[in-house]
A and B are shown apart, each in its own frame.
Chain A
Amino acid sequence: MGRWQDRVKEWLVWWRQQEWFSGGLKTVFQKELADNLSSTRFTILVFLVAVAGVGAFYVAAQSIRQAAGEGDPQFVFLRLFTTSGGSLPPFITFISFLGPLLGLALGFDAINGEHNKRTLSRLLAQPIYRDDVINGKFLAGLVVLAVVILALGFLVAGLGLLLIGVPPTGEEIGRLFIYLLVTIIYVAFWLSVSLLFSLLFRQTATSALAGIAVWLFFALFAGMLAGLIADGLFPVSEDAAPARILHNATLKQDLSRLSPTTLYDEATVTLLNPGVRTLGPVLVQQLEGAIPGSLPLDQSLLLIWPHLVGLIAATMLIFALAYYFFMRQEIRAG
């Protein structure tokens, strides 16, 4: 019985021993965690994101109240996150736009900062594995981000209870929780991007700017660029054939899905709005005979499964690149 269990046990013992021998990961992790939490830029950013999020949420709550009687009363709780009120975009948009900034802020000077402060060679001369440093920094950033995002999400949920007085259903809580998890993965992607840039560029200002450039590109320009390319390959005039219009739309979407921002936006809209039944272009005949209604959670998840896999893969890929560069980097000071 259970040869693999023995294997796992052996591996665990071995792993613990390694940990005991080095212990560097834990120490680096704890220090980075403390550094992150006490840094000024972190306080500023959390404040910014929290104000934007809570503001958007408050406006949404107001407009939901007004429209309370009119629309269908399903998923009122989730609408707190997706309803825009007047001039303010919804909570979900704010997080999608500002979340990357959180990730970038925690990592852009992770390695080159140590280099410039000349602490890297002293740190690596201690008896720790080299990857303890980058793993510890990544994990510490990830935990801080997770704490912030979960706290913000539950803060808004709690306020929502107070403001509209409609308790969430189990499914709504599940959707909210998964939404927050996906947000953590998305922000972790940006954390690993900034870690990579902190290795590629010697100046912290350069790596911060490079991170912001990539962020703006994905947030604003990637969609436009996808549209441009799609229009160039399949120009759509007023009287274009339906097949061509479909080609154009599909290509545009496929291209923009190369951007993690698009993946994240599509995934979160599907999660928080059960009315979303499909993410691609829909033909009229496909709608024939369809009964309007919302998707259950597992079907929503099925719809965005590729998005989640894509996001996780992109995060791991970028982190793997950063890991590789860090392990190959020459330590030469100055």
Chain B
Amino acid sequence: MKRALAFGFAMLLAGCAPADDRPTIVVQRFFGECGAAYGKSTDVPAAETECGILTTLINRFEAENPHIRVKVNVVAWPGYPQLAAQIAAGDPPDLVTMHQSVIADYSGRGLIEPVGPLLAEAGIDPATFTPAARAGVEKQGKLYAMPWDTIGRLWHINTALMDEAGLMRGGKPMLPTSPEELLAHARQFKARTGKPYLIQAQVSAPDFHVALLYTYLLAQDAVIFPDARHIRLDTPEARAIVGTFRQMNAEGLTTLNQDFPAATAAFTQGKGGIFPVGTWMLGPYDAEAARPGSPLHGHYAVAPFPRLWGHDAAFVDGHAWVVPAAKRSPQERAAMARFMGLLARYNYDWSRTGQLPAFAPVVESPAFAALPHRADIAALARTGRQLPGYVERQSAVQGLIGEELEAAITGAKPVDAALRDAERRVNRLYAQMM
């Protein structure tokens, strides 16, 4: 018995690992989970998709820096409720992915810290940020994040179906130039192919319709946010935009009842003509178009949102890496700087997803220019517009507007009432903001 006890005790002791005294950094990110495909990958140029590239980058960092321990929290997009709870509980992560439109909410309250010293330690020169990227991360004259990209929305187009619908000219898709033409094209498309003209994520995807609305309001120079505490949505311009897309739904000219994964898959399966979604799908869809046997094979094109109202414009945002305010040791800060350095070093690889790079030398590089379709979306860099810098709580606002737009466009609520309710709910949010 004693021997058995001694053996058991020895096994217990043998199971105890020595204390890990390496500096630890906690990286919190969205972009999904793909450990099954990229869990061991360190070959960054070989990785594909946002999730695959970022997972590989983190693996690469761990391989290059065995003296640093990295803990990764993968959060469901966009992850801000979790981050707010972590900060409120006094247990924030060290590096967090954040949309540039959201940074002001946290910087204004001192919840994230300026990253100038970390950038300097990482050898990153902020002068190399693109103007759009710098504007996205600079608040009150300080840099509150390392920008990583500029993101916009594109029309991803199945040219085989467009051809079948008689909507190709000179090898390029014919895009509508007015809401009336949009409906005419969509009706013609459906009549000739039997499929919907648009593929749309209209379920659990509040950002989808909001990007449409912001884009076409900005195109008309409509003042969406007259000041920092008010929104203006109950307008003829907004009613016309929402009414047009409601009509598309009512006539079955778009897919219905799809969430983002379903809509993403529907496009690759050739179930519709055009998927208006972000730059981030350019890389994956281009890879799909190169795959023999795919319905998209050799039949994929992209274009910025067509000019349906006003002038060319696109609502753009960007991803960035922020540092929540917390006490950290010099070793931890050095580890964070090294991590940022690696992310910056591989910014070209990140741009293979379809996002526009945050660093001017990458934008100007021949390698970036040689990526497919980049000439087609170059206009985005010129016409892309963010909301005014004084607009706070953009993520929460997007959720409120998105819910009302979803109700209006799917026909569950009259357009006027939905826009009025969206305006009331957002203004109430601002009235309560401390």
Indicate whether A and B interact.
no
